[in-house]
Amino acid sequence: MTRWLDDEEQTTWQAYIRMRQRLDSAIATGLTRDGVSTSDYEVLVALSAAGGQLRSKELGAEICWDKSRLSKHLSRMAARGLVDRCQAVDDARGREVRLTEAGRAALHAAAPNHVELVRRLFIDGMTEDEAAALRSLATRVVSEVERTDLL
CA trace torsion 22, 28, 34, 35 (10° rounding): -160
Residue numbers 58-97 binding a copy of itself by CB under 8 A: 63-65
Q: Name the minimum Å distance from CB 27 to a copy of itself.
A: 8
Q: At what angle do helices 56-63 and 67-79 cross, to 10 degrees?
A: 110
**Is the Cβ–Cβ distance between 94 and 85 less than 8 Å?**
no
**Site pattern 5..34 for a copy of itself (x: CB under 8 A):** x--xx-xxx-xx-xxxxxxxxx--xx----
CA distance 79 to 117: 28
| Stated length of the chain | 151
Residue numbers 123-142 binding a copy of itself by CB under 8 A: 123, 125-127, 129-142
Please give the C-alpha separations between residue 126 and each of 22, 73, 109, in angstroms, as whole numbers: 17, 34, 26
CB of 4 or CB of 90, closer to a copy of itself: 4
Q: Does the protein bind a copy of itself through residue 50 (CB under 8 A)?
A: no
* Residues of this chain that bind a copy of itself (CB under 8 A): 2-5, 8-9, 11-13, 15-16, 18-26, 29-30, 63-65, 111-112, 115-123, 125-127, 129-142, 144-146, 148, 150-151
